[in-house]
Amino acid sequence: MSWYNKRLAKSIWVFHISASPCNNCDIEILDLLTPKYDLERFGIKLVGSIRHADVLLVSGVINQKVAPKLKYLYSQAPKPVFVVGVGTCPASGCCFNDSYNITANREEVIPIDLYIPGCPPKPEAMIEGVAKLVEVLNG
């Protein structure tokens, strides 16, 4: 696992999963790809296939309709895969927390390794979260 972490810390391929978001987090994620923040300078690249991903970026509320699809996508990802919850919704459900449709325990759907708080989180907070993930991978 150690050699994998060293390789992953230099080039992280990310697959973005929108689990019923309000799209504010999605806009901030796309902002990371603009020349102002340029996330690719850290070796981080968004990929179009989950089978090529090292990190899953989950935004939005994990509700009962999305949970089986999210679990299926997680099973398609090569292991080990790291899951990052972007925004308040994956962490706590935000204002939808008491809704009948929200899954009670989000950790039972997929294990989330890192939460980036905020509604929506600023691009700087997302870069800091990814930097901490790289720091953990480097050991």
| Amino acid of residue 131 | A
Q: Give the global pTM.
A: 0.84
Q: Is the dihedral of CA 27, 17, 109, 2 positive or negative?
A: negative
User: Which pLDDT belongs to residue 138?
Assistant: 67
Pick the more confident residue, 98 or 123. 123
Q: What is the CATH number of domain 2-138?
A: 3.40.50.12280
| Closest by Cα among 89, 120, 116, 117 to 103 | 89
Q: What are the structure tokens assigned to 4, written together?
A: 């994998």
CA–CA dist 46, 12 (Å, integer):
9
pLDDT at residue number 76: 93
Size of the chain, expressed as the number of residues it contains? 139
pLDDT for 99 equals 75
Residue 9 pLDDT: 59
Write down the number of H helices and E strands in the chain: 6, 5
pLDDT in tens, 15-39: 988 888 788 888 888 888 888 888 8
What's the pLDDT at 51?
93
Higher pLDDT, 105 or 14: 14
- The answer to whether 25 touches 59, Cβ cutoff 8 Å, is yes
Residue 1 has pLDDT above 60, yes or no: no
**Bond before 80 cis per omega within 30 degrees:** yes
What does the pLDDT look like over 44-103, one tens digit per residue? 888 989 998 988 989 888 888 889 999 999 999 988 888 998 888 787 767 777 777 777
Cα distances (angstroms) measured from residue 89 to each of 9, 35, 46, 96, 118? 27, 27, 21, 8, 9
